[in-house]
């Protein structure tokens, strides 16, 4: 890791932190019967990606 620029190391750490926060929030929400299309109007292809990420 020592040749990797500091800003890249920082970005990777931030991504890991955001990812773990996202998973924590998602776990809280999974118990609720959300209608995601009303919360997040989104194109069909991203909705498929979202469903795949939940499974």
**pLDDT, tens digit, for every residue of 37-52?**
555 555 555 555 555 5
Does some domain include residue 16? yes
Does some domain include residue 39? yes
The range of the structural domain enclosing residue 10 comes to 6-54
Does some domain include residue 17? yes
pLDDT at 29: 74
Task: Tell whether the model's pLDDT for residue 21 goes beyond 80.
Answer: yes
For all residues of the chain together, what is the average pLDDT? 70
Does some domain include residue 1? no
**Angle at Cα 18 formed by Cα 33 and Cα 2, nearest 5°?**
155
Q: How far apart are CA 53 and CA 55, in angstroms?
A: 6
Does some domain include residue 30? yes
Closest CA to 32 of 52, 49, 54: 54
pLDDT at 42: 55
Task: Name the domain count of the chain.
Answer: 1
Does some domain include residue 48? yes
pLDDT at 9: 82
Q: How far apart are CA 16 and CA 11, in angstroms?
A: 9
Coil, strand, or helix at residue 52?
A: helix
Task: Tell whether the model's pLDDT for residue 25 goes beyond 70.
Answer: yes
């Amino acid at each position: 890791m020592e040749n990797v620029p500091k800003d890249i190391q920082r970005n990777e750490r931030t991504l890991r932190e955001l990812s773990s926060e996202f998973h924590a929030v998602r776990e809280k929400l999974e118990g609720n019967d959300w209608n995601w299309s009303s919360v997040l109007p989104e194109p069909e292809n991203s909705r498929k990606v979202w469903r795949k990420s939940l499974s």
